[in-house]
Chain A
Amino acid sequence: MENEKKNTDFESAQDFEFVQQDASIHDQKFETKPTTYFKDAMKRFVKNRSSVVAGCILFVLIAMAIIVPVANKNDIDNPVAAARYLPPKWFDGDTGGFMDGTGYVEKAILDPSTNNLPSGSFYKSYAVIGDIESTQSYSDTWDESVRNYGKNGAIRLGNGSSENEVGIFESEESGLLSPVVQLALADSSVSYEVTFYPESYADNHVEGTEIASYIGWVFEASEETPDETEALAEESTDTPSEDTPEEGGEEIPEDPAEELTIVPLMDPLSLTDETTSMEVENVVGILQEGGYLDGASEQVSGRFAIVYDAPVDAAASANSLYIQSVQARGTTSSVGAASFSNATQAYASLNAGGYSRLNEISSTGIYHSEVTYGAFRYDYYEAAFGDVAGQEFTKNDIDTYVSHGWIESLSCRGRVGGEIALFSLSNGDTAIDWSKAPMTSTSVTLVLTAEGDTYCPLRSIQTLRAINLGGDVGTSVSVYGTQSLYRLLYEQDKIGSCKMPKYFFGTDRNGKDFFKLVFSGLLTSLGLGLLSSAINIVIGLIWGAISGYFGGWVDMLMERFCEILGGMPFIVMMTLIVLLLGSNFWTFLLALCLTGWMGVAAETRRQFYRYKRREYVLASRTLGASDTRLIFKHILPNGIGPIITGAILMIPSVIFTEANISYLLPSALAFSGSQSFGITLSNVQGDLQNYPYLIVSASIVMALIMICFNLFGNGLRDAFNPALKGADE
């Protein structure tokens, strides 16, 4: 249409003269170059700006898919575990948290005594930017720092979560067992009191469900006397707590001695908003009344049990008891040991000397443990790759650095005497003379060479101590200094270049450079797309050519075959092939090619029907051209445009399919060896909420490549077949 506007501004009458008037030009050569079908298409394509831009972006992306996996030397097979979940970093300077590798940490547990990060914390204090703001709060999750720095709170005791074979919840008791206590038979003052965490019931109770609990007593198994077993047998008939081992129990061979029998010391107490504690007094009296102590001598040993009396529908209710403290009183000292007031501490020693779980299925947790949280800005890259002071270096390490030529000189000042030179390149030394090292040296001067300044992981030495040198030289030297982690990692070939890494897309849960991962995956997917469309074109061209050229019953048979094969949904085909042949790159390719050629074949067939009755084909047939010549020299070149377009548009659809399928079934379709784009994406799906940058960056690449392919393909289609222009853009 733009062409129509041109050539409309006439200037003079000369414009209307015939150029070749009276000239005989029939035997002259053309002065203009003849344009071919492809050149013509190219001309039209270049005019389509969006397609050209898309083509350029596509080219860049494909080039990156080829170059990045090779040029980026970051190790993604054995990544640095410390570098997991690094945020994306694009800029070196501080941009206030935008793409500079920093993030705001809100809930890091602090050491309450110093209000600083404890040494065992996940967060490194040297990577903290600015001040730490501390707040008092509660933690309901259990980890090492809560264990070390939390206090009080309550132990959460949930119902057991076991299910029987038919998937119905079986209410086996869950609960806590105290450490073994000795009860003196004469002691009537033994009492046991469980205090629940205030408001915990009201805060956590599930509407419409019931929750009950009671205190029980469990005799120590080793103390089993004939009397006691008798008593146990008697007791089993009337206790509500008795579990039902008859149910399906006959095939499970289990040691009966392991079955704990709980003697309830009180009736189950239904909890309400007002319940703050439950208590039993005169434990010995209750046991004697029940006849459990008949025949026992002075003392019995056993454990107190706090039992969660699970209702039948416990699985649905998911209620918990919140035990704040336990007060056990009695004359024997072991009874007192069953008390605890600091629930966090008691939880820490659960199953390790202190309280233990009643059944394996008992679910326990910590509730509202008091901790101090710190909030601060944190440089994740500094934490993983920065300089850390106080790292220990071995003598071998330093000798290696010397042999690399990284250390210019090393000298120190002993307690007595002046400066001692241990090593100096200018003196012609080749190794450190450890025998001169003083017993303790705090002022160490380390000078690195220019190369060492770039590569040496040892940046400075804080202390250097030599013990027992003398005769047996160098047996024990301890060196503490500042270590540059990224230089160390570079030395170990974990990262690609010897500078602070910048991961454009961050790192995933294993510490892999996600940028490299994405483009490696893209390479595999592109390869799959290219290969499968190449195969599909070949098969489709041949099939379509035969079907379209010969027509008649050949065509009919071939069409019916296609219809039947094409009737099978792709996912079905894919599944069958993977199930039968295992899952790898080649089976995936096979699945893609098994039905993928049909589109090309149909298009080719259409083109053949369109051209085979044309006069020029008839003309060359009358001149004696063979079928092969007609097909390949005359018909195919004319219809090749749409076929090529179809094939190019096939690449994104293959990537699309591959991504979808690998995303759905990563377990079934994990390629051995290389990682595809879909698998890369599906691996980070779980991190969507906490580390969205992973899925966002991969999705953007994916979307970009799809959009560009589509735009590019549409541009090509318009160029090859202007009649279709704008049909569906």
Chain B
Amino acid sequence: MKDSTKYVIERILFILLTAFIVLSVTYILLQCMPLEPNATNFTEEFRFWQQQVTLGFYYEIDTSTPEGLEAIANHEYEQMVTINSQNYYFAPYPILVRYWKWLVNVVTKWDWGRSTSVALNQSAISIIVMRLPASMKLNIISIIISVPLGLGLGIWAALKKNTWIDSLISTIIMIFISVPSFVLISFLLLGFGKIPGFPIRWPSQANAAADPLLAFEAYIIPVLSLSFGSICSFARYTRAELCEVMSSEFLLLARTKGLTKGQSVVRHALRNSLVPIVPMIISQFISILSGSMVLEQIYGIPGIGSLFVTALTGKDYPVIMVDMAIYTLIGLFATLIVDLSYSIVDPRIRMGAKK
């Protein structure tokens, strides 16, 4: 017990260290690009730069001092904003100073910077927080659907091994695993597009609130397209595992001791085959959380995946930064949870134990 606690703590510390390094590198690299606030008027822009000053990334050049004037004459500023026919000049601190300020902001105030184009001047973290529920909801629904279906198909295929049912299921799995998600989504859109009134885009909140049926229908395509992939990988994995367990000696022993086929499968084979499947469910859950970018983009779902794409096209680096942080952390903790779940499902497995 003591060993495993130590192992978990070690792993978490290492993950935090990795996350820190990755995020730092990302931040510093992103800072090499200039900020381009997508403001429609000067007041907005001025507010943006003032916020950058408050956050400590930029400083305003004092036009009343001779040094300031000289700096302006030498174009040692990055941004000039004219408000009420008065010019304001802003210049950035060096990257490492900005990095330090950013770290302090994040740690002390949980402030990850301000958006430049997705929603100008809004806190980047608040934008993400607003977008998270949509993604989460979809993923939870699709995992709830795909776990029983995937396991069921896999078990069915394994029990009917080497019959036409097995080959049919295996072929379907093969096809769906090989087809990229956007192809699948396109075909789903095409098929459901034939139904009149069926939403082929995510409805706006007002429309969804007005029409509960529409709100329900809007979930069909996203859930289907998210589920197909995971159903197939669950089924494939379950089938492989169960086939292996079914051919092992202890199952034969169980049968010779008089258990029916059903009993032996449910009580012995299935339990043992679950050992690698449970971690797989967890990792699948996490991976579709981050992997639905294509779907969100095509279907217009206001989640973090589509946000990432929007931010990237709009060059909204602070939002990209937070989104990346989420993806990085999700990825890192996924590996941890998967590793830990092995030892929970099967107590014989001791992660990190010396050989």
Binding site for B on A (CB under 8 A): 165, 248, 251, 316, 563-564, 567-569, 571-572, 575-576, 579-580, 652, 656, 659-660, 663-665, 667-668, 681, 685, 688-689, 692, 695-696, 699, 702-703, 706-707, 709-711, 726-729
Contact assessment for A689 and B186 in the assembled complex, using a CB-CB cutoff below 8 Å: no
Partner-binding segment picked from B260-268, B291-299, B342-350: B291-299
Contact assessment for B180 and A567 in the assembled complex, using a CB-CB cutoff below 8 Å: no
**Assembled-state Cα–Cα distance A711/B206 (Å):** 47
Contact pick for B18, options A563, A575, A665, CB 8 Å? A563
Given known A699-B186, A703-B179, A727-B240, contact A568–B294 (CB-CB < 8 A)? no
Given known A572-B324, A576-B30, contact A706–B180 (CB-CB < 8 A)? yes
**Assembled-state Cα–Cα distance A361/B116 (Å):** 27
Given known A563-B18, A579-B33, A726-B243, contact A664–B309 (CB-CB < 8 A)? yes
Minimum C-beta distance from B322 to chain A (A): 12
23 inter-chain pairs at a CB distance below 8 angstroms, sorted by A residue, are: A564-B21, A569-B324, A572-B26, A576-B26, A580-B29, A659-B182, A660-B182, A664-B294, A664-B297, A685-B182, A689-B190, A689-B200, A695-B186, A699-B179, A702-B183, A703-B179, A703-B180, A706-B179, A707-B175, A709-B178, A726-B240, A728-B236, A728-B240
Contacts of A727 in B (CB 8 A): 240, 244
Contacts of A316 in B (CB 8 A): 206
Partner-binding segment picked from B51-59, B127-135, B251-259, B326-334: B326-334
Contacts of B206 in A (CB 8 A): 316
Contacts of B312 in A (CB 8 A): 575, 665, 668
Contacts of A706 in B (CB 8 A): 178-180
Contact assessment for B178 and A728 in the assembled complex, using a CB-CB cutoff below 8 Å: no
Contacts of A663 in B (CB 8 A): 180, 182, 294
Contact assessment for A659 and B180 in the assembled complex, using a CB-CB cutoff below 8 Å: yes
Contact assessment for A702 and B180 in the assembled complex, using a CB-CB cutoff below 8 Å: yes
Residue of B183, B294, B320, B327 with most chain A CB atoms under a 10 A cut-off: B183
**Assembled-state Cα–Cα distance A703/B186 (Å):** 13
Q: A571-B327, A688-B189 are in contact. List 13 more A-B contacts (CB 8 A).
A: A564-B21, A567-B22, A572-B26, A576-B29, A576-B30, A579-B30, A656-B180, A660-B181, A699-B179, A699-B186, A703-B183, A707-B179, A726-B243
**Assembled-state Cα–Cα distance A699/B186 (Å):** 9
**Assembled-state Cα–Cα distance A298/B244 (Å):** 103
Contact pick for B313, options A572, A660, A665, CB 8 Å? A665
Contact assessment for B189 and A567 in the assembled complex, using a CB-CB cutoff below 8 Å: no
Minimum C-beta distance from B96 to chain A (A): 18
**Assembled-state Cα–Cα distance A709/B178 (Å):** 9
Contact assessment for B331 and A668 in the assembled complex, using a CB-CB cutoff below 8 Å: no
Residue of A564, A664, A710, A711 with most chain B CB atoms under a 10 A cut-off: A664
Contact pick for A165, options B44, B177, B181, B298, CB 8 Å? B44
Contacts of A688 in B (CB 8 A): 186, 189-190, 193
Given known A165-B44, A660-B180, contact A567–B313 (CB-CB < 8 A)? no
Partner-binding segment picked from B35-43, B104-112, B141-149, B218-226: B35-43
Contact assessment for B183 and A699 in the assembled complex, using a CB-CB cutoff below 8 Å: yes
- Listed from nearest, the 10 A-B pairs whose CB atoms lie closest are A706-B178, A699-B183, A707-B178, A567-B18, A569-B327, A703-B179, A572-B324, A728-B240, A165-B40, A568-B22
Contact assessment for B328 and A572 in the assembled complex, using a CB-CB cutoff below 8 Å: yes
Contact assessment for B331 and A567 in the assembled complex, using a CB-CB cutoff below 8 Å: yes
**Assembled-state Cα–Cα distance A570/B298 (Å):** 20
- The yes or no answer to B170 lying at the interface (CB within 8 A) is yes
Given known A564-B21, A668-B313, A710-B178, contact A569–B290 (CB-CB < 8 A)? yes
Contacts of A656 in B (CB 8 A): 180
Contacts of B324 in A (CB 8 A): 569, 572, 575
Contact assessment for A729 and B170 in the assembled complex, using a CB-CB cutoff below 8 Å: yes
**Assembled-state Cα–Cα distance A34/B298 (Å):** 57
Minimum C-beta distance from B58 to chain A (A): 20
- B293 nearest CB neighbor, chain A only: A664
